[in-house]
Structure 1
Amino acid sequence: MKIALLGYGRMGKEIEQIALQRGHEIVIKTSGKENYDISKADVAIDFSVPTSAYNNISNCINNKIPVISGTTGWLERYDDIVSLCKQKNGAFIYASNFSLGVNIFFELNKQLAKMMNSLKQYNTNIEEIHHTKKLDAPSGTAITLAEGIIENSDKKDWVLNGEISEEIIPITAIRTPNVPGTHTITYVSEVDTIEIKHTAHNRQGFALGAVIAAEWLVNKTGVYTMKDVLNIG
């Protein structure tokens, strides 16, 4: 499989290593506004920056190249990409986190939210910890976790670094050196605390999931998620 890496930062380099180990070829590596011929690729993997993601993804779809994206911070234009993908009969996957373990964690989070919804004595909060070079806060993964709780409970919204309340989920974003990503969901009452947590030890899990998603997407059309790739939930 010929892969275009749109974004050749630390994640791009991890994806390159995993892809080569799995027998694929990297035909494009771009880290900025370089010109490239996307038609050389069988599939594209976008881990760029928020200001580049929309153009990268739409360029792939317009040229009938399946594309997956793990870039966060551009999702105000997600619906535009979905419409373009349907119009062009393209193939697209967005995930806030491609880690196989995190996607299982997403489903555990939803199930726990359903179980806890009737227990009003518990308040919910989310904490995420990432390396100091991460550009956005809260993380896309934390937002996905919050949305999973909102979909399966009476919670109405989330807020960054806000106060705990009955209808709002506060997300605390911490930046510290050399942390690939830690996410914790906590339910607290006066008598006890229930907590689920995912800790990434390195970026290899994210990279492997991205390559698996790219392998899965080739020769398909439509807009998918990691739930489709992993057949979970």
Structure 2
Amino acid sequence: MKIALLGYGKMGQIIERIAIERGHEIVLRKKSTDNYDGLKDADVAIDFSVPSAAVQNISTCFELGVPVISGTTGWLEEYDNMVALCTKNNGAFLYGSNFSLGVNLFFELNSYLAKMMSNLQDYKVSMEEIHHTQKLDAPSGTAITLANGIIDNSAYTEWTLDNAQNNQIHIDAKRVDSVPGTHSVFYDSAIDQIEIKHTAHNREGFALGAVVAAEWIQNKKGIFSMKDVLNLKK
């Protein structure tokens, strides 16, 4: 499989190593320039760039008929537009806020716990996410996915980085050197606390999941998620 890497920072370089170990070829390593030489030859593009570049990267792929795996966060106000463009071009698109197998299982656990807690009014939910200082967006895409999983299964209606009001989920976004990613969900009452937590030890799991998703999306058309890749849809 020929892969275009749109974004060649630390994640892009780990993805490259894992992709080559799995027998794939890298035909484009796009850094900060607008040079897309090699993209038209790719079987799939993996976008781990920056929020300001993601929309242009994804749009260019759809125009060239190249399937896109996107792990860039911080641009999701344009997500619906990218879905529409993908559909218009009969393309294939998979966005994931986190490609780790463990995190995607954690998403499912979080949603199930939210359902169980939804009628227990004595408990107030809050979240914490910790990432390395190079991460540009806050809260993380993973934290937003977790918050939306709670919102979809409870009376909460939105998340906030500020002090939470009624029906708001407070997210405490911290930036600490060399932390790949830690996400915690807390349910606090006057008598106890329930906590679920995922801690990434390194970035290998994110990179492997992105390559597995790229392998999976070949010869497919439509809009997908990691639930499709991991067969987690009910």
Where on the TM-score scale, by shorter chain, does this alignment land: which range?
over 0.9
Question: Match for residue 52 of structure 1?
Answer: 53
Whole-Å separation in 1 of the counterparts to 2:62 and 2:219: 13
**1:196 equivalenced with 2:205 (yes/no):** no
Question: Please, what TM-score do these two structures have when normalized by structure 1?
Answer: 0.98
**Letter of the structure 2 residue corresponding to residue 94 of structure 1:** Y
Whole-Å separation in 2 of the counterparts to 1:203 and 1:127: 19
SS in 2 for 1:227: helix
The answer to whether the 8 Å contact 1:131/1:177 transfers is: yes
Question: Match for residue 228 of structure 2?
Answer: 228
**Letter of the structure 2 residue corresponding to residue 121 of structure 1:** D
Question: Match for residue 5 of structure 2?
Answer: 5
Whole-Å separation in 2 of the counterparts to 1:104 and 1:62: 33
TM-fit CA distance, 1:164: 4.0
Question: Match for residue 68 of structure 1?
Answer: 69
**Letter of the structure 2 residue corresponding to residue 196 of structure 1:** I
Question: Match for residue 124 of structure 1?
Answer: 125
> What RMSD, in angstroms, separates the aligned Cα atoms of the two structures?
0.8
Question: Please, what TM-score do these two structures have when normalized by structure 2?
Answer: 0.97
TM-fit CA distance, 1:40: 1.3
Whole-Å separation in 1 of the counterparts to 2:72 and 2:138: 13
Report the count of equivalent residues. Answer: 232
SS in 2 for 1:184: strand
TM-fit CA distance, 1:165: 4.2
**1:185 equivalenced with 2:185 (yes/no):** yes
Question: Percent of aligned pairs with the same residue?
Answer: 64
1:124-180 Cα deviation digits (max 9, x unpaired): 0010000011101100100110000000000011001x2244411000001111000
Name stretches of at least 5 consecutive residues in structure 1 with no aligned partner. Answer: none
Whole-Å separation in 2 of the counterparts to 1:163 and 1:50: 26
Whole-Å separation in 2 of the counterparts to 1:165 and 1:4: 44
Whole-Å separation in 2 of the counterparts to 1:190 and 1:35: 57
The answer to whether the 8 Å contact 1:123/1:164 transfers is: no
Alignment of 1:77-116 (within 5 A): 77-116=78-117
SS in 2 for 1:138: coil
1:192-219 Cα deviation digits (max 9, x unpaired): 1000000000000000000000000111
Alignment of 1:119-198 (within 5 A): 119-160=120-161, 162-198=162-198
Whole-Å separation in 1 of the counterparts to 2:146 and 2:87: 27
Whole-Å separation in 1 of the counterparts to 2:89 and 2:34: 25
SS in 2 for 1:121: coil
Whole-Å separation in 1 of the counterparts to 2:197 and 2:220: 34
**Letter of the structure 2 residue corresponding to residue 103 of structure 1:** N
